[in-house]
Chain A
Amino acid sequence: MNGFDALYAKAQERIAVLSSLPSTKEESVEQMLEKRGIERRDFMKWAAAITAMLALPSQFTPLFAQAAKLADRLPLIWLHMAECTGCSESLIRSDAPTIDSLIFDYISLEYHETLMAAAGWQAEANLENAMKTYAGRYILLVEGGVPTAMNGQFLTLGAQAKTGLSLVQEAASNAAAIFSIGTCASFGGIQAAAPNPTGAKGVDKVVKQPVINVPGCPPSAENIVGTLMHFLLFGTLPALDLYSRPKWAYGNRIHDHCERRGHFDAGEFVESFGDDGAKDGWCLYKQGCKGPYTFNNCSTERFNQHTHWPIGAGHGCMGCSEPNFWDTMGPLEKPLQSHLIMGLNSTVDKIGTTLLTATVIGIGAHAVASLFMNSKEEKEEKES
């Protein structure tokens, strides 16, 4: 049986279930689109783009369009833990064209501290109300790591000074699905880097329910929205990797589709920032690029409506969607072979266990090592 046929049938089933749920709103998305001057053609284009991004065949496009129209059935609660709000900022950049944000605000954003008008007691009431009214039906998105040391008191929220830890556990208990948005919620992030003074952890380490990780610092708007779309369409978790990351977004290494890959293969490396190689767009491996060890779709999706991305801008990838990357990938501007961090060597030693594809990387590292040898020999020849 064709695997996609089964998936397609599942998606159709899911849409039938969603259709039968009572709407939270009177106006249909179709009416809304029409009212806001968005043509069906643009809408379908958007659905096609989402389909392509999720690496599904084009016959799924109409299903995505259907699923998006049902989007108003899914209330969202977004909680902020120990974070910098960069993931929320990434979310509001969403545009495909402007339909993503449109759909998104239509998804019924019940609680989001950065965007909501209410504050204090009124804000808390909105949260309680949403958790009660939509119990078992809301999607929980968490931004930020969860401080667990000192009984979680490094973060308190609300007039009753609940800990972030207790709040996230409470919200998780009745969620239909939980997404950790960004590396902090997924793996603890910057505050969890050694020596992790606040005992910060990823959400999946503090709740019992399954969690989908959408890491990145921050993840692109496409990865956040695409993950939601998958849930909407299939009603299940997407295929995940070892770290619970959706494979459609995190299934390939940055290196696999890197625009500078040809230079890597040809042994053409930037030897110093700003040198002739840098001007010609050569490979940044020797400047510490962690693209070979990092699973994400930055090299194909880029950021800010495909405007740019770090390797394009001449800086290596720092591995921000990998667990513990601050400790395992540093120094960020040096290749992994050389370690300078003092006092953190114990964490550096863990690098081997954090890398998913040791064999592949072994081959890659070998290739690189031999290229290094070659370029070094050449250099020596020239000098002599």
Chain B
Amino acid sequence: MANQRVVIDPITRIEGHLRIEVEIDENNVVQKAYSSSTLWRGIELILKGRDPRDAGLMAQRICGVCTYSHYKAGVEAVEDALGVEPPYNAKLVRSLLNESLYMHDHVVHFYHLHGLDWVDIVSALSADPKKASELAFKYTDLPIATGTDELTAVQQRVKGFVAKGQMGPFANAYWGNKTYKFSPEQNLIALSHYLKALEIQRVAAQMFAIFGAKQPHPQSLVVGGVTCVRDILSPTRLVEWKSKYEIVKDFIERAYYADIVMAAEAYGTEASVLGGVGVKNFLTADAFLLSHTENLFQSGYIKNGDISKVYDIDEMKIEEDVTHAWYKGDKPLQPYDGVTEQNYTGFIDGDTVNGKAKVINPKDKYTWVKAPRYDKSPMEVGPLACLLVNYAHGNAKVQKEVNDFLKRTGLPVAALFTTLGRTAARMLQTKLIADNAIITFNTLVENIKTDDTTYTKFEIDPDKEYKGRFIGEAPRGTLSHWVRIKNGVIENYQAVVPTTWNAGPMDANGEVGPYEASLVGLKLEDPTKPLEVLRVIHSFDPCMACSVHVMDLKGKEISTFKVNPL
């Protein structure tokens, strides 16, 4: 029997527009997978000709979820080009904002985007709240939002929804799927945390806004420094940050950590979450300034899952391939030499397990995302890459956190190279950041005793040409922005973003990227309700808006676009 096609479009509970297709054999095992981004915006082209100081605020609009990452990247790429060194206070505030962002973003991802892949809400209704309340102590000494009264209230609230068949955002999902492994009591604990996390994310956003002005889309960075000088010089504001930080950190320890320990126990033998790492190369960049002498994470990459050796990154070995992306081009190019001409070929008619649909033609182009390669190889980026590379580096903080978790759950190191491992890595990264953000904060407080500078003046010489880049970490992985400045304005702009690394299509050599590789071998219970695919893909935390804006550095003239206005 020929392979059958499964189409999932839209992949929901992500940022942006993503289609996943898989081919399954007669046993419902995935043989091939295709990842397609179905929106293109062209932001780099728009940046061309603008004031370099606007790059950060414009690039920020790439994504409203990792809402700070592209802002910081845009500002720092321009600083790199101009040779501007922001003051120490500014660097610390930027790091503090980044830490605040991760503490928000990862919590929202696990509970509100990824959570429903692990938690069966309907099952939670049959739980015994009292038993669940007792069970919560198994995963942490200090549970939160799991008192019998609270769990009873949560259960009542959701019962109303389900009884009426009027389930709003929870309607028509995959409840009852056999790969849901939590007991009713465990589901109830996680459901209570889902609701509690809605409250916590508001606090996390406030914590961010204290130095960021607002969240999403902060507005307190400028080329040369930060603008929130009044906030960092105000003891009230500093303490406000700290008290909100404590609330969020507390939730991360008592709920997020505990729930992942619970998931490791319940899902430790569930085959559909014990694969999911097809590309075994991992790449990460430096991140999180704690003090003059310390970054929390270090850069590098590992190959073929071998954590005995870490390699240094040579940025000139980054290239992008467009063989299967909706752009013209016949060879992979380094970002500095990129060329873009859109070449949309669309989908073709085909049969799927749900009937006729528009499907991907794998022989042709099929996505707006390019395929980045490092030294010709695909790389996974993100929290798992960050932890694995730093573990391999011998980063003491990372090693301790990872080893403690493995000991606590009884899982082997190999378990990290799985869907479950990727989801656990995001939590461990969050915990490491939450534990260490206070160091950045204390360093800042110490520094402002003797130094209140927040801005370095600079000039842009219109007669000079500049080029520079930012390479760093965003919540979804390694992010780089590349800029050229000429005549005082942006000549070229390019962003190579985490989801591009992970979600990119097949390259000219037929080699696939992390998303597509992660799904091969996955068995589906019911191909018309492909929960297992969602779980694997969500474990990467897709952010499509980040990946689909990608344009070439040369930014060809608009005339190369075939525009047929309605």
Contact = CB atoms under 8 A, between A and B. Distances in A.
Q: Do A and B come from one complex?
A: yes
Interface of A: 24-27, 32, 35-37, 80, 82-90, 92-93, 95, 98, 101, 105, 108-110, 112-126, 147-161, 164-165, 189-191, 193-200, 217-218, 272-275, 278-279, 281, 302-305, 307-310, 312-315, 318, 326, 330-334, 340-344
27 contacts: A85-B16, A117-B13, A121-B8, A121-B528, A150-B344, A150-B562, A151-B566, A154-B39, A155-B17, A155-B40, A190-B46, A191-B46, A196-B46, A199-B563, A217-B217, A274-B227, A274-B454, A281-B230, A304-B206, A307-B206, A307-B210, A308-B212, A314-B228, A315-B222, A315-B227, A318-B219, A331-B51
Interface stretch (B168-176, B378-386, B422-430): B168-176
A159 B7 contact: yes
B344 A190 contact: no
Closest 8 CB pairs of A and B: A86-B64, A274-B455, A314-B227, A117-B173, A313-B213, A331-B51, A303-B214, A197-B42
Nearest to A314: B227
Contacts of B206: 304-305, 307
Contact of B15 (A85, A160, A218, A314): A85
A334 B563 CA distance: 33
Given A93-B205, A149-B565, A84 B169 contact: no
Given A149-B563, A305-B206, A198 B40 contact: yes
A147 B454 CA distance: 40
B54 A332 contact: yes
A172 to B, nearest CB: 15
Given A331-B50, A340-B489, 5 more contacts: A80-B16, A101-B198, A157-B9, A193-B46, A273-B229
B508 interface: no
Interface in B189-235: 198-199, 201-202, 205-206, 208-217, 219-220, 222, 224-225, 227-231, 233
Given A119-B12, A195-B46, A344-B49, A82 B39 contact: yes
Contact of A190 (B14, B43, B346, B565): B43
A119 B209 contact: no
B48 to A, nearest CB: 8
Contact of B11 (A89, A119, A199, A313): A119
B454 A273 contact: yes
Contacts of A344: 49-50
B453 interface: yes
A197 B216 contact: no
A332 B455 contact: no
Nearest to A199: B565
A153 B164 CA distance: 39
A109 B528 CA distance: 24
Contacts of A155: 17, 38-40
B41 interface: yes
A120 B8 contact: yes
B53 interface: yes
B15 A273 contact: no
A93 B202 contact: yes
Point out which of B51, B224, B457 has the most chain A C-beta atoms below 10 A from its C-beta: B51
A27 B166 CA distance: 11
Given A191-B43, A273-B455, A333 B222 contact: yes
Nearest to A123: B12
A8 B208 CA distance: 40
Given A153-B344, A303-B209, A334-B51, A272 B214 contact: no
Given A218-B217, A305-B206, A343-B49, A272 B455 contact: yes
A304 B344 contact: no
Nearest to B11: A119
B561 interface: yes
A85 B49 contact: no
B230 A331 contact: no
Interface string B97-124: 0000000000010001100100001000
